[in-house]
Amino acid sequence: MKQNQPAWEISPGLTDYESALAHMRARVEAIHAGEAAELVWLVQHPPLYTQGTSAKPEDLQDATRFPTYKAGRGGQWTYHGPGQRVAYVMLDLSRPHGSVPARDVRGYVAGLEHWVIETLRAFGVKGEIREGRVGIWVVRPDGREEKIGAIGVRVSHWVSWHGLALNVAPELSHFTGIVPCGISEHGVTSLQALGVKASMADVDAALRHNWSKIFG
């Protein structure tokens, strides 16, 4: 395996969130100790809300709808659920990865954003970034901006964990229990809502194909 190529895992079904946190913590420690390879882990979760370190309590608008978890990552409130591809990325950021310099967290977040943009391009969707709004956005023909991908990361011992969530075909009404990422003036969308017929396997293949464009 090339030094810059992480292992890839795809978990079938729905992955329990607390189990995912425990698995990531263990893998991060192992990567830091030089005992495990870097990892890109693709999962789906049952419906739930996660609270980032900047989340405002009032942005959880329906606390009884789904389970809530403190994620420990950066960012605000996020929804996870079936039909959404979550990519947990565990890299040793003390060294460079492709276009991402060593020990550059902002550069790493930008790398995740561009990875999603390149993946969306494979399905004919133009993803965009906005100053002051982390995540990936699409512009509707009427000018409305809607979020299709969320990003929230944590770095421990210069090893990254958490990652991104890309809306493939989730139930978009589930997002109404929160103010997603603290942004109330814009909505959320998905590949399905944009009229793109893509399976989760199609999206996974595009993620894998476009990885090396960003991370080497």
Looking at residue 81, its pLDDT comes to: 98
1 has pLDDT over 50: no
Looking at residue 44, its pLDDT comes to: 98
Confidence of residue 184 (pLDDT cuts 50, 70, 90): confident
Q: Cα–Cα distances in Å, from 73 out to 81, 100, 216?
A: 18, 20, 25
In a domain, 1, yes or no: no
- Whole-number CA gyration radius for the chain: 16
Please report the DSSP string for 42-55 in residue order. EE---SEEEE-TT-
List 31, 48, 166, 181, catalytic entry: 181
Summarised one tens digit per residue, pLDDT across range 144-161 is: 999 999 999 999 999 999
167 has pLDDT over 50: yes
Give phi and psi for 203, each to the nearest 5: -65, -40
Residue 185 Cα to chain centre, angstroms = 21
In a domain, 46, yes or no: yes
Is 181 catalytic? The answer is yes
Summarised one tens digit per residue, pLDDT across range 88-147 is: 999 999 999 999 999 999 999 999 999 999 999 999 999 999 998 889 999 999 999 999
Burial (0-12, 13-18, 19+ Cβ within 10 Å), 199: exposed
Residues whose CB falls within 8 Å of the CB of residue 115, separated by 6 or more in sequence, listed in order:
164, 207, 210, 211, 213, 214, 215
According to DSSP, residue 25 is labeled H
* Count helices and strands in the chain by DSSP H and E runs: 3, 11
Tokens 């790493």, residue? Answer: 108
Looking at residue 157, its pLDDT comes to: 97
Looking at residue 2, its pLDDT comes to: 46
In a domain, 98, yes or no: yes
Residue 174 Cα to chain centre, angstroms = 17
| DSSP 3-state of 38 | coil
For residue 44, give its domain range. 7-215
Please count the structural domains in the chain.
1
Distance of alpha carbon 32 from alpha carbon 104, whole angstroms: 17
Confidence of residue 3 (pLDDT cuts 50, 70, 90): low
Please report the DSSP string for 162-198 in residue order. EEEEEESS--GGGGGGB-GGG--SSEE--TTTTT---
* CATH assignment at residue 112: 3.30.930.10
Q: How do strand 68-70 and strand 48-51 relate by DSSP bridges?
A: parallel
Q: Which amino acid is at 84?
A: Q
Mean pLDDT score of the chain:
95
207 has pLDDT over 80: yes
Summarised one tens digit per residue, pLDDT across range 21-31 is: 999 999 999 99
Among 143-157, 173-187, 192-206, whose mean pLDDT is lowest? 173-187
48 has pLDDT over 60: yes
In a domain, 134, yes or no: yes
Average pLDDT in the 39-63 region? 96
Summarised one tens digit per residue, pLDDT across range 62-75 is: 999 999 999 999 89
Report which of 179, 175, 177 is spatially closest to residue 193, judged by C-alpha positions: 175
Average pLDDT in the 150-175 region? 97
